[in-house]
Amino acid sequence: MANMRSLMSSFSSYFKLLLLLLTISETFIQTSGSDFGINYGQIANNLPSPSRVAVLIKSLNVSRLKLYDADPNVLSAFSNSNVEFIIGLANENLQSMRDPSKAQSWVQQNVQPYLSQTKITCITVGNEVFNLNDTQLMMNLLPAMQSVYNALVNLGLSQQVTVTTAHSFNILSSSFPPSSGAFRQDLIPYIQPLLNFHAQTKSPFLINAYPFFAYKDSPDKISLSYVLFQPNSGSIDPVTNLHYDNMLYAQIDAVYAAIKALGHTDIVVRISETGWPSKGDPDEVGATPENAEIYNSNLLKRIQQKQATPANPSVPIDIFVFALFNEDLKPGPASERNYGLYYPDGSPVYNIGLQGYLPEMVIESKSNVSFVHQFSYLYYYMLGVVLGAYKIVIRITEVVEGKKVLNLSLNEGFFGDFFAGSLTKALGSCDEALFRLWTYNTVLEKGKRNMKTTTIRLVPS
């Protein structure tokens, strides 16, 4: 029991230090917020639960998420989180949303119940509709948007929630130089009234812009440094004499020019999607984790600096990065399944300076565990969270000698070794340990992550 008291004394000292670290960490987070949003797609069969994603997003200090639906599980998981949401209506719903009564019913079921606790600020009606060459769908778009907007007005929600739609960059027939930006002639009959709607309702014009596509199609003509925000000679617009050092800014200003050509200077352009794939098919030139890391890292730096485009120097860029996770069920080329910043298990695909964690704790046993052991596991888990130097994954998924096993996995590094050694010592010195060390080994995972991981397996005594 003397060893037990010594252990408790040590935990008390550790806990005081932990509180100090938590305070410092919280202060840092509150003073260094992120100004970008992230697309949270869910076309996958291996994603973490929304409640765990909420923890990840909070740890990243990201304040805006964009969904492609109105998943009630996600909206509920983010209650009282201060995260702003753009939610979506899928293209297949546009026909029914033309009916004002159906639109109002949708808003009453998918928006109104959550607004008191979850910040829904925008609804996207359809996604890249004009890229599908479906005349009926294009004809349904604006009436559906108007019905949803009118439903918000009727419910007194139009000051809280805007209505828009997201477009592919392919709706432009010309984009270089940026001042020559113009919409495709065949789309102008649809886009002109759409712009009038945006101006009337003060809603943003959303565009999905991917410099990756331009580079992939013409790697011999387009500078990789130009599309990755790296030092380069850039290009000059001969009409405005403005200098562009990256393609994304040129694309944004091309959209502004196209909107202006149709008589509007009162509409804000936002990037609803941009990103870079970490993997692609053999013909998808440039789809590598190195390029993805460079693109997104440099983009986030510019966002944090509140940069604006050359033609609109007073309007900071407003961007949603694509995407939070790799999505293994997305159709199309391999790149479509590899835009994620994170793997579904919460480990980063590459390092862009964001330190987040995805805690996973699956407890299948309801056996009584003493306070000492509950505290020890909580302490070590939270210490890992605060330090941000490794992640701990706790699972009870195996059975050894007829007993469920507690597995703890840690990323390589000093703090991982410290944790493993300290936990081993703590369990060894405790006369009443409910768990005993089964194995303590270091393994090297094979495959694309190539992450060295320390794994501890504990078996109930």
Per annotation, catalytic residue among 84, 128, 364, 398:
128
Per annotation, catalytic residue among 26, 84, 273, 293:
273
Helix (H) or strand (E) holding 103: helix 100-110
d(CA 360, CA 396): 11
Is 273 catalytic? The answer is: yes
Tally of CB atoms within 10 A around 205: 23
**Three-state SS at 325:** strand
- Separation in Å, CA 361 to CA 189, 211, 422: 54, 39, 20
Q: Nearest CA to 262 among 130, 171, 141? A: 171
d(CA 165, CA 207): 9
The H-assigned helical ranges of 266-312 are 289-304
Is 92 catalytic? The answer is: no
- Give the number of residues written for the chain: 461
User: What is the distance, to the nearest Å, from the Cα of residue 181 to the centroid of all Cα atoms in its chain?
Assistant: 29
- Helix, strand, coil percentages for the chain (3-state, nearest 5): 40, 20, 35
Q: Nearest CA to 270 among 192, 201, 205? A: 205
Residues in Cβ contact with 218 at an 8 Å cutoff, skipping those fewer than 6 apart: none
Which active-site residues does the annotation give? 128, 273
